[in-house]
Chains A and B, each alone.
Chain A
Amino acid sequence: MLTSAFYFIAFVTIFFAIMVVVSKNPIHSVLYLVLTFFCISANYIFMLDATFVGMVNVIVYAGAIMVLFLYVLMMMNLNAIAEQKRSVLFKISAAVTGGMLLLVLVAALKDANLQIQGSALEAEQRIGSIKVLGYVLYSKYQLPFEVASILFLVAMIGAVVLGKKDNSTKTIGIEPVK
């Protein structure tokens, strides 16, 4: 039951991920990417017993980051401008490159011994629970946690400075926009 559910979710995830890349309309791409993230979160929650990471993935990725993408896309109205076509040869060579990368990854991992040696570590608690993760995050990884907040502050200031309306008419090579 759980096994077939895993393979079903895996194929659905791959299908949605392919649709992200091939769909013509960028808004459809965003929606397919949201569905991909939902499938990955389902993997976290139901298969890997990592409930907290799964919930955070839904809230942060599917909820916040993808809404930001959708917001920017709808602000730009890209349907008016068609995407420049790449040549078929270019697409085929890109697909071949990707396939070769997959081949290299699979070939490198085929002989790797990933099984746990000897007796498995037996934790007494479920490590995906908020209790365990919170304890580790606020004791062992406290300094990186604080540095992440500084990173967010920098990113916020950077986004505001970049997005500010520029009154001087400096442009990148093309005549200024009316």
Chain B
Amino acid sequence: MIPQIFQTVPIEHFVYLSAVLFVIGVVGVLTRSNAIIIFMSVELMLNAVNLLLVSFSSYHQDPAGQIFVFFIMAVAAAEVAVGLAIITMIYRNTHSVDINDMSRLKG
């Protein structure tokens, strides 16, 4: 059965909520210069997409969307492990996680 919430709240409002969360993540990536906070903003964007997938999955009564959310979580966990290892290595070498200090690979 379709969840009760869809009788009063249209599916568009879930879409707008996840769009707003995604945009907040984008603004975080653009404005901050701490590499860890940029990474956290990327996690926020991934969660916005997860929210969209779960709401459409329960609206259409199709479990495939929620299965996809599990795979996104698995990829995000792997990405965080490798990414934080890279940031730790950069911190060990340059004593900073500021992305302005990481611009040495200019062409």
- Give residues in A with beta carbon < 8 Å to B: 2-3, 6-7, 10, 13-14, 17-18, 20-21, 26, 29-30, 33, 36-37, 40, 43-44, 47-50, 52-53, 56-57, 60-61, 64-65, 68-69, 72-73, 75-76, 78, 81, 83-84, 86, 90-91, 94-95, 97-99, 101-102, 105-106, 109, 114-116, 120-123, 126-128, 132-133, 136-137, 140-141, 144, 148, 151-152, 154-156, 158-159, 162-163, 171-174, 177
Contacts and interface: CB of A to CB of B under 8 A. Distances in A.
B84 A72 contact: yes
Interface size band for B: 35 or more
A102 B34 contact: no
Interface in B1-17: 1-5, 8-9, 11-13, 15-17
Interface string B22-62: 11111110111110110111011001001100110111111
B51 A43 contact: yes
Nearest to A98: B27
A68 to B, nearest CB: 6
B97 A50 contact: no
A109 B19 contact: yes
Given A21-B24, A141-B67, A155-B81, A50 B19 contact: no
Given A21-B28, A99-B23, A173-B94, 6 more contacts: A13-B21, A65-B76, A121-B60, A151-B78, A154-B78, A174-B94
